[in-house]
């Protein structure tokens, strides 16, 4: 993860953890994740609500690392 996406070690650990637990998104204030594809990266200010997801979409299971 660290080399593939040119991430700092803490960011690589967060991404690896999110992928390992099957999260459908990663919530973070960091901008290090701009190169990551396949996992939505949400900022803390992103409003996540069932009203903003398409009908029939899977529930959002986001990983929010505690720093």
- Considering the domain boundaries, does residue 55 fall inside one? no
What pLDDT sits at residue 15? 92
Q: Is 10 part of a structural domain of the chain?
A: yes
Contacts by 24-32, CB closer than 8 A, 24 or more apart: 24/58, 24/59, 24/60, 24/61, 24/62, 25/60, 25/61, 25/62, 25/63, 26/62, 26/63, 26/64, 27/62, 27/63, 27/64, 28/64, 28/65, 32/7, 32/8
Domain count, the chain: 1
Q: Specify if 42 maps to a domain.
A: yes
Looking at the predicted structure, is the pLDDT value of residue 53 above 70?
no
- Is residue 53 domain-resident? no
pLDDT tens readout for residues 18-35: 899 888 888 888 888 888
Q: How does residue 13 score in pLDDT terms, banded at 50, 70 and 90?
A: very high
Q: Which domain holds residue 8?
A: 1-47+60-64
pLDDT at 42: 84
* 4-8, 38-42, 53-57, range with the lowest pLDDT: 53-57
């Amino acid at each position: 993860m660290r080399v593939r996406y040119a991430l700092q070690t803490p960011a690589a650990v967060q991404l690896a953890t999110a992928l390992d637990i099957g999260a459908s998104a990663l919530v973070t204030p960091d901008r290090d994740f701009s190169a990551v594809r396949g996992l939505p990266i949400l900022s803390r200010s992103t409003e996540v609500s069932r009203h903003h997801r398409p009908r029939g979409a899977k529930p959002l299971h986001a990983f929010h690392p505690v720093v």
